[in-house]
Amino acid sequence: GESVGLHLPTLSVQEGDNSIINCAYSNSASDYFIWYKQESGKGPQFIIDIRSNMDKRQGQRVTVLLNKTVKHLSLQIAATQPGDSAVYFCAENTDFGNEKLTFGTGTRLTIIP
Amino acid sequence: DTEVTQTPKHLVMGMTNKKSLKCEQHMGHRAMYWYKQKAKKPPELMFVYSYEKLSINESVPSRFSPECPNSSLLNLHLHALQPEDSALYLCASSRLARSYNEQFFGPGTRLTVL
């Protein structure tokens, strides 16, 4: 399944399938990006990050892709599990040195058993 | 210790009350943050402390007063709040390094203003 972030804030995916969550960022000068996962009643949890000098970074079951040309960020989750159900936020650093992160609106991912 | 702790978990206060939110981290991080999060919205930055000095205030009303007593502790003093201030208040910390400086979040304090 695939979301387009701002225009489709919810995404439902069958357990075991791959998920793609998209994010359009606003500032072409942003040089650092983070994906966070937030479960109900909890604080955001760091998933993976990427600097603007890279276009891909992989973690455990997750991959972040960065396309600076179109200011687009995506999070791919492989073989989704029920525990992946959460709201996912992308965040961009728009003021490097002061560590100010600006968050996107978020996408709710629901895993269907 | 790799976590940010926040107390209390829940807080209910009246508009004339004075209360404080507390945040603690023991990861040696030199930047600490307060965010406000309304339901179904992303976190909004309120304050940033870098090396125990206030470096960013996002035009937050003076009824919110941050304090950083030392590099491990961050407080948010609340006074004369309004019902619209009800939200989840999140604390975060980061290393202030020039590369991969991810912010780690606490579980938040759920604040209700009556």
For A34-60, the pLDDT digits (tens) are 999 999 989 999 999 999 999 999 999
Grade residue A29 by pLDDT with cuts at 50, 70 and 90: confident
Helix (H) or strand (E) segment spanning residue B34? strand B31-37
Which residue has tokens 């040309």? Answer: A69
pLDDT at B69 over 90: yes
HSE (side-chain half, CA atoms, 13 Å) at B29: 29
Q: How far is B35 from chain A (nearest CA, A)?
A: 11
Grade residue B99 by pLDDT with cuts at 50, 70 and 90: low
- Sequential DSSP letters for A4-46: -GGG--EEEEETTS-EEEEEE-S-TT--EEEEEEE-TTS--EE
Mean pLDDT of chain B: 93
- B9-21: b or e for each residue (b if 16 or more CB lie within 10 Å)? eebebeeeeebeb
Contact A46 B103 (CB under 8 A): yes
Average pLDDT for A62-88: 96
Average pLDDT for B22-37: 95
pLDDT at A106 over 60: yes
* Identity of the residue in B42, B102, B108 whose CB atom sits nearest the CB atom of A49: B102
Grade residue B105 by pLDDT with cuts at 50, 70 and 90: very high
* Identity of the residue in A34, A51, A99 whose CB atom sits nearest the CB atom of B99: A51
What are A21's two structure tokens? 């969550």
